[in-house]
Amino acid sequence: MLAMAQLTDSAVPTGAFSHSLGFETYLSRGEVDSAASFAEWLRMFVAQQLTFTDALAIRLAHGAAGFEEVADLDDLLTAQALPRQVREGQATMGQRLLSIAAENVPGPWLDDYRARVASGRLHAHPALVLAVVGRNVGQRVDDVVAQHLFATVVSLTQNAVRGIPLGQNAGQRVQGMARTWVLTAVERSATLTREDLGAISPGLEIAQMQHERQRARLFMS
Amino acid sequence: MTSSCSTLPERDQPSTGELELTVARRGGVSHARHQFHRGALRILRPIHLDGSGQVCYTVVNPGGAFLGADHYRMDITVKEKASLLLTTQSATKVYRTPQGPATQDVRLVLGPGAILENIPDQLIIYRDGSYRQTTRVIMHPGASLVSAEVITPGWSPDGERFRYQELRLRTEVRVGDAHASRIFAIDQLRLEPGVDALDGVGQLEGHSHIGQLLVVDWRVDTELVDVVSGLCVQSGLRAGVSSIGITTDDGVRGLVVRSLGHRTEDVVHLHESVTNHVRHLWRGQGPLALRKY
């Protein structure tokens, strides 16, 4: 449990603080400008991207029969991430997390994963790294999903606190609401199949694509 | 990852309509080498719209609409250096599907130097309709693909726009051939009006029409993505473009355009402007002349 706590802590230097994963586009459009509008965006993000990509990927990797299945999932996650900044951001964050995990929580598959990323054959994704670690330390899959999703919620909220900006207390209230959304995502992702991986809504993807062209940017995605 | 291709559409599933078309090039002109249809899918006589040698085939659904539990299968092959423009005679309409979703499995196979432009009319999905479309593309690294979709909600008696149940489009692009291929990109669309409020943030954001355009070709580069971004801005649609896919030393590159709008013709115009740009840039071919709008 503490291994997961270490890797999902917001102090882990994966670079998550520099990725808005699309919300900065809404910020620049003036559509996200308050705690309430950010909360609405975050609820959508948890129900879409975090449910259909991260949560589902963790479930599939946690139950993998061998590392080849994880490698296939790495390919699928890269292939389905159409917005370039999201694809590159997940790989950058995944690679940092993979190095930290391989060093601090060594276990089966991590060295293999790291070697194939180093050779350029795989890309790395934070959800897959956490699924492998969670599996190695005997953490239940629902808990791994919940921990990763909530960690992502925390980093996005902290980014919103700086970017919008919001007060720290308002940020905490959004995170409080998000606990329910994360639990819903844990349940819904259990009903999905491999074909559903990455099936998210068009408005979010367009915002993530438009971010590439935004003039003044605080975030890399 | 190279793997054997075990993802072909089911052939033993009973189909409402089936279509097979293989296009090859002979003497600089593309023509059908094999065609087969059964049930509620047919094709019109081929036409050559310009002097490029490209053949245009028009798919027709004589039944007029997709109904519950209908299953359609299309298997299109474009052989070495052949060029096919594939379109439809009219919009694809999905009506009520109480017996289960209407499904369509499409397989597109492109050989070395093959060109496929897949530009169907819009998909209209009506009240209480569910539709799932699975497209599997297997293309040689030297082939060229443009594939477009326009999705609109159908009329509903109470005037509400999004009363369909579920819409799923999944397109998987693989590079290689029928024996060995690797994944390049997956383009997905999932709309479930019963689960998500479609007007909301991240969904359709107040729009009614959705456009998706996929371009996969070894010549896609950042300059082209920049040009397409300019076309997106000019379109006035809520639109975005990005480079896509897993890049390896086989050289295949791609881009996707996604858009949200209020009128079919606006989305069609954006798709045509991008298609026409790459036609001119890569082949010196004139603009699409489907003359539907």
CB contact under 8 A, A209 and B245: no
Average pLDDT of the segment spanning A87-104? 97
| Cα three-residue angle B259-B263-B265, rounded to 5 degrees | 90
Q: What is the mean pLDDT of residues A95-119?
A: 97
pLDDT computed for residue B156 by the predictor: 72
B49 by DSSP, 3-state: which? coil
Q: What was the pLDDT predicted at B3?
A: 41
Cβ separation of A201 and B191 shorter than 8 Å? yes
Let me know if residue B48 belongs to a domain: no
Please indicate whether residue B178 or residue A145 has the higher confidence score (pLDDT). Answer: A145
B107 and B113 Cβ atoms separated by less than 8 Å: no
Inter-chain CB proximity A82 and B185 less than 8 Å: yes
Min distance B270 CA to chain A CA atoms (Å): 15
Query: Which residues are B244's β-sheet partners?
Result: B254
Pairing relation of β-strands B130-139 and B123-125? unpaired
Query: Which pTM was predicted?
Result: 0.95
Strand locations in B120-279, DSSP E? 123-125, 130-139, 144-153, 166-176, 181-191, 209-216, 238-244, 254-261
What pLDDT score does A123 carry? 98
Closest CA–CA distance from residue B174 to any residue of chain A (Å): 10
Distant-in-sequence contacts of B41-47, Cβ < 8 A, 24+ apart: B41/B17, B41/B72, B41/B74, B43/B19, B44/B89
Q: What burial class does residue A140 get, using C-beta atoms within 10 Å of its C-beta: 0-12 exposed, 13-18 middle, 19+ buried?
A: exposed
Q: Which residues pair with B162 in a beta bridge?
A: none
Check CB contact under 8 Å for B190 and A196: yes
Contact A139, A1 (CB under 8 A): yes
- What CA–CA distance (Å, rounded) separates A191 from A169? 35
Determine the average pLDDT of the residues in A144-156: 97
The tens digit of pLDDT for each residue in A8-32 reads 998 899 999 999 999 999 999 999 9
Cβ proximity of B169 and B133 under 8 Å: yes
Q: Record the tokens describing residue A25, joined without a space.
A: 């586009």
- With respect to residue B201, please indicate whether it lies within any of the assigned structural domains: yes
Rounded distance, CA B99 to CA B68, Å? 5
Given the DSSP bridges, would you call strands B102-110 and B130-139 parallel, antiparallel or unpaired?
A: parallel
Per-residue confidence (pLDDT) for residue B12, from 0 to 100: 55
The ipTM (two decimal places) reads 0.96
Q: Give the gap in angstroms from C-alpha B208 to the nearest C-alpha of chain A.
A: 12
Answer yes or no: do A84 and B239 touch at CB < 8 A: no
pLDDT at B293: 44
Nearest to B184 among A44, A79, A84 (CB): A79
- Each residue's pLDDT expressed in tens, for chain B with a length of 293 residues: 444 444 444 455 689 999 999 999 999 999 999 999 999 999 999 999 999 999 999 999 888 899 999 999 999 999 999 999 999 999 999 999 999 999 999 999 999 999 999 999 999 999 999 999 999 999 999 999 999 999 998 877 777 778 889 999 999 999 999 899 999 999 999 999 888 888 899 999 999 999 999 999 999 999 999 999 999 999 999 999 999 999 999 999 999 999 999 999 999 999 999 999 999 999 999 999 886 54
**How far is CA A177 from its chain centroid?**
18
The CATH H-level superfamily of A17-213 is Urease accessory protein UreF (1.10.4190.10)
Phi, psi for B107 (deg, rounded to 5): -120, 130
Rounded-to-integer distance, Cα B42 and Cα B19, Å: 7
Cβ neighbour number for residue B11 with a 10 Å cutoff: 10
pLDDT at A107 over 60: yes
Chain A residues with beta carbon closer than 8 angstroms to that of B241 = 209
> Tokens in use for B254?
């791609």
**Residues 6+ away with beta carbon under 8 Å from A33:** A27, A164
- CB contacts of A199 in chain B (<8 Å) are 168, 170, 188-190
Contact between A190 and A145 (Cβ < 8 Å): no
Buried b (16+ CB within 10 A) or exposed e, B67-104: bbebbbbbbbbbbebbbbbbbbeebbbbbebeeebbbb
In this prediction, residue B292 carries a pLDDT of 59
Instruction: For residues A187 and A146, give the distance between their C-alpha atoms in angstroms, rounded to a whole number.
Output: 10
**By C-alpha distance, which of B267, B256, B248 is closest to B220?**
B256
Residue B25 lies in a domain: no
pLDDT at A204 over 50: yes
Number of domains in chain B: 1
Band (pLDDT 50/70/90 cuts) for residue A67 is very high
SS percent in chain A: helix, strand, coil, step 5: 70, 0, 30
Closest to A55 in 3D by CA, of A141, A158, A154: A141
Residue type, B16: T
Which residues of A are less than 8 Å from B200 in CB distance?
Answer: 40, 44
What is the Cα–Cα distance from A185 to A56, expressed in whole angstroms? 9
Tell me, yes or no, whether B290 lies in a domain: no
pLDDT for residue B153: 85
Q: CA geometry: angle at A126 spanning A123 and A128, to 5°?
A: 80
Domain boundaries, chain A: 17-213
Q: A213 in contact with B at a CB cutoff of 8 Å?
A: yes
Q: What is the mean pLDDT of residues A188-212?
A: 97
Q: Whole domain around residue B180: which residue ranges? A: 63-283
What's phi and psi for B225, nearest 5 deg?
Answer: -60, -40
pLDDT score, position B7: 42
Which of A35-49, A105-119, B146-160 comes out lowest in average pLDDT? Answer: B146-160
